[in-house]
Each structure stands twice: as structure tokens, then as C-alpha cells.
Structure 1
Amino acid sequence: MFAAYYPERFSGYREALVLRSELRASSAPDRVIAGSDLLEPDVLQPLLDRFAGDQGLSDPRAIATQWSKHYLSRLLISVVIIELRLDRHLPTALDELDIAFDERGIATAFGLTHAGTQSLDNGCARFCSLISAHMTPLIASLARQVRLSPRVLWSNAAGYFEFVVGALAECDDISEWQLSGAREVLKRRWLPDRQRNPFYQPVEYVDTVDNAGQPDIWRCRRMCCMRYLDESLGECGNCPRLKPRRGTEERQAATT
């Protein structure tokens, strides 16, 4: 439905947004659930268990944060690309979606009730429904399930939002006007609907020196995703826990 509008670097996301009828027709019945059902512990936990088994993870909090990264990246990257490129408002509330999961418990596609409506607001208000009616209840449910701070999961979501907006800015066929509303989201502490903005400045760009002693820029999360809690995983490359270590490496590289 929207495949032609994805930049080549996001070609793997081209089938992430489809109509609900298409999703039901093309997926095994036991692989598709109603979005609102995802809030039920007895629906969510089997997905986490399948994911943990596939990834070889044992810590519940690390399982949840890693699972959320797959889910949130699939959702946010796709929705942001299509909403901005087509200036369209998509139906993204949990109760407006069906969601397909693969055998690993990873979200693969979101079935929309319709193909969206022309947006009446290019500003950051266009994302309020996605945040309040989809991610807020899902993150609350997931955090409660594994006793993890919701802020960790929001940081995962915000990081993907910032990433895709930055990636779109590098495309020749998207205007600054199209990007302006999304950029505004990253700058505001509060959203137009008076929610505290969970996407406010999720990352920082730090001046560093690479292994060759050349100036470089490091994209650093402001909050750790906690994946390191599972002994099979270390910190991610954007982890703020790496700051002291990177600072030492940078000083050494600069003096050799």
C-alpha cells in the first residue's frame, strides 16, 4: 500500500503498514492479534517468551527492552515516513490496529482500519494520538509486566523517532516543511495536548576522536536501555554508560 514511499535504506519496512483486511488475509490466524489485546498479560507474555527463546535471553527486563526495540522501530519508522512524506494522518491507536507477529514473537506488520486521512496539522500535534493511544498504554503494560521503568521504554521509542527524522532529512525528495513538525516534537518539553513529551531530546551528539585520531561525532542516548542486565548482551554502541570509557579513549587517541 505504501511500499513506494519508503527510501531505499528502509526497504525492509515496506510491508509494515497494510490494511487490516490484507493483513488478515495474508497471515495465519494465530499470528495476528487485535492491538488492544496486546495490553493483556496473557497475550503479551507468550510473545516475550517466544522472543526470549529465540534470542537466548533470560533477564525479563532485558527481554522486554529488546522486544520493544523491534516493535517500536517497526511502528515508528514506518508511521513517521508515511505521515511525513504523504502529509497523511494514519489510524495508529491500539484499538484501530491488528498486529502480526512472527514465530519469534517479533512484530512484522500493522493492519490499519483505513489508509489515513489528509492531515490538518503539519505540527507536532499530528503525533499526539500515536503517543497517547498506542505507545502510552503499551509501554505502561510492558513495564508493569517486567517491573521496568517506563522511562527506559520511552527512551527506546524516542531514539527511533529521532533516528528516522534524521534519516529523512538526508533524502533529497523531502522538504524542510515536511520535517518541521517532527523536528518540533524533539524540541518541546510538552505536547500540544498538554502531555509531557516523552520524545524530548532523547539523544545527544558528542564530539569525539576516532581510532585514527580524527574528529568524529558520537550519537549517545540520554538513558540506558538496560539490555546489559542480561549477561549475554553488553551495552549498545549508543549507551550513556560508555561515556567515561569513551572519554578516556578519546583523550588517549588525541595524544598519540
Structure 2
Amino acid sequence: MAVKMNGASERPSIADHSIARQAIDLDGLVGDGPFSYCRGKLLSAHSQPGLFVPCSDLGERDVFDEIIARYGQKFPGSDRRAIVSMWTLYYFSMLTIAPSVHMFVNRIALPMEIGRLSLVCNELTGEPEAFVMSGSPEPTTDPAGELHRLMLGHAEPVIAAIAANAGVAPKLLWNNVATYLSWILKEIAYRQGPALVEGGMALLEEPNWPGGARNPMFGMIRIARQQCGLEFARRKVCCLRYNLPGVGGCGEACPLPDGRH
């Protein structure tokens, strides 16, 4: 399936769905508060120009290659694995940050399975800009369960597809997921209280997920200590961004000395 460049979409608006007889306005929930950066990342309809592709089609090599080719124009001659990894940093930041805020702060369940989302990318650069949902947000009393469903229903299959298409190690991609998920859960804990995200942190820190499956993010974020005693988070697997011209390294967060510049 070729990547499509769309204007307005014929997908139904979230206003067409009834949730307790009232639609949930995701952007309105975050407003201008501390999580305002979540606005515009989860859409009910595609109404802006750009590349528009069902997330499930990222498993098709020609679709994925077309998007990465656009993004890779920023880094001519660079290691394709680093280009793919950098692109997924945009993707996984959208997949984890806004959804986690809505799940844990606003107690909203989202239709985030890979078959229920489409991706909007920048028309010129191929950078991910938003997800378009085909289902309706609903209230939830189990945000950790919703996050687990997101990992199984979206992160896991898209990582398998990208790893197969791009020759990038799945553990690198899972570390990219873990980096943003760890950050946003700690940010929520700081602003709203740690009890709010205990179940989410368990999905990062426990060796096994509910049901007994191995947790692919276990140990991906490690706590290190500087000589002065200050603690900081460090990745287990380098994201390779230091190989891209004009892109700064991760500083102390990088596990490789070359990536700390």
C-alpha cells in the first residue's frame, strides 16, 4: 500500500461517538496546564495535510521505506540504522507521552492498538506528527492495564515490523520506548504524586509483565551516579543518534562514551 497524502479525511469525528452521552475532548482535558505538549497528538479525524498511513501498514517494507527515505534526506550518507532509530524516537514519544497522561492523569482508555491508529507524518520530512484514532476514548479505572494493552497491541507488533524491515535490533527500539515512557511516568509522579503511576512503573521495572511474559523493557533504564553523587538515568542500549550530523548526543544518558558529547 502506498503512503497517501491527504487533506481532510472522511473518518468520523469523535463528536459522532457517545461516551456516557458526552464526547471526551482530549485536548481540552490537558488545556494549557503542565501537560499542554500533549495537545494535537491524538486526533479523532485527519484534517491536516501530510503523509497519512495506517500504522499496521508500517509492516509493509515499501511503505516504511518511503517514509524513512523522506526522513533520511536530512542526513545524506548516514547510517540507516541511526536514521531509523531517530525516526522511531519521534514515533515512540507520541505513542507513550500523551497516552500515558490521558491514562494515568485523566483516567481515559484510548483505542491505541496498531490496527486502530493511523499515522500523520510531515509531508516533507516524514517526521511523525500525530496519530488518528478510529475508535473512541472511554473512561477507565485501570490505567496500568490500558498501558499494558498499548505495549502488547501496538509497541510489540510495530517494533517487530520495524526490526524486520530495517535491520535494527528490537532491544534498541524497546529502549527507545522505555526512555520516553520512563520520563513521562516520572513527570506525572512529580506533578501528581507517585501513587498515581505505580502500576505503570511496574511495567517498566518488573522482569515479567502480567500473564508471565518477559518484559522487553526490563533493565533498559538504569540509575547511574556521577562522581558528585548526583543520580541520573542511563540507557542500556545506545540509540545511535550520535552518528547523525547536526544531532547532539544524549550526554550522560548514553551508554557509549562517543554518544555523550
> TM class by shorter-chain length?
0.7 to 0.9
Q: CA deviation at 1:201?
A: 3.5
Give the equivalent residue in structure 2 for 1:51.
Answer: 71
The answer to whether the aligner puts 1:3 opposite 2:27 as a matched pair is yes
Give the equivalent residue in structure 2 for 1:116.
Answer: 137
Aligned-residue sequence identity (percent) comes to: 26
Unaligned runs of 5+ in 2: 1-24
Aligned residues: CA RMSD? 2.4
Q: In the alignment, which of 81, 99, 115 is matched to residue 95 of structure 1?
A: 115
**Contact in 2 for aligned 1:162/1:202 (Cα 8 Å):** no
Return the alpha-carbon distance in structure 2 between the equivalents of residues 125 and 187 of structure 1: 15
**Contact in 2 for aligned 1:5/1:85 (Cα 8 Å):** no
The answer to whether the aligner puts 1:241 opposite 2:256 as a matched pair is yes
The worse-fitting range, judged by mean Cα deviation, of 55-64 and 222-231 is: 222-231
The answer to whether the aligner puts 1:41 opposite 2:50 as a matched pair is no
Give the equivalent residue in structure 1 for 2:232.
Answer: 218
Return the alpha-carbon distance in structure 2 between the equivalents of residues 89 and 34 of structure 1: 20
Number of positions where the alignment pairs a residue of Structure 1 with one of Structure 2? 233
Describe the superposition over 1:185-236 as per-residue Cα deviations: whole angstroms up to 9, x where unpaired. 1221111133221232422222214xxxx54333211221123444665642
Give the equivalent residue in structure 1 for 2:162.
Answer: 142
**Contact in 2 for aligned 1:93/1:130 (Cα 8 Å):** yes
One-letter identity of the residue aligned with 1:178: L
From the two aligned structures, give the one with the greater helix fraction. Answer: 1
Change (3 A) 1:57 1:18: farther
Q: In the alignment, which of 86, 106, 110 is matched to residue 66 of structure 1?
A: 86
**Contact in 2 for aligned 1:33/1:100 (Cα 8 Å):** yes
TM-score normalised by the chain length of structure 1: 0.81
Q: CA deviation at 1:9?
A: 5.1
Unaligned runs of 5+ in 1: 247-256
One-letter identity of the residue aligned with 1:121: D
One-letter identity of the residue aligned with 1:13: C
Return the alpha-carbon distance in structure 2 between the equivalents of residues 57 and 190 of structure 1: 40
Change (3 A) 1:54 1:11: farther
Describe the superposition over 1:94-138 as per-residue Cα deviations: whole angstroms up to 9, x where unpaired. 11112111121111111112332222424x332222112211121
Give the equivalent residue in structure 2 for 1:130.
Answer: 150
Give the equivalent residue in structure 1 for 2:43.
Answer: 18
Return the alpha-carbon distance in structure 2 between the equivalents of residues 215 and 194 of structure 1: 36
Return the alpha-carbon distance in structure 2 between the equivalents of residues 73 and 158 of structure 1: 10
TM-score normalised by the chain length of structure 2: 0.80
Describe the superposition over 1:19-55 as per-residue Cα deviations: whole angstroms up to 9, x where unpaired. 1xx22xx123x62112211211111111111111134
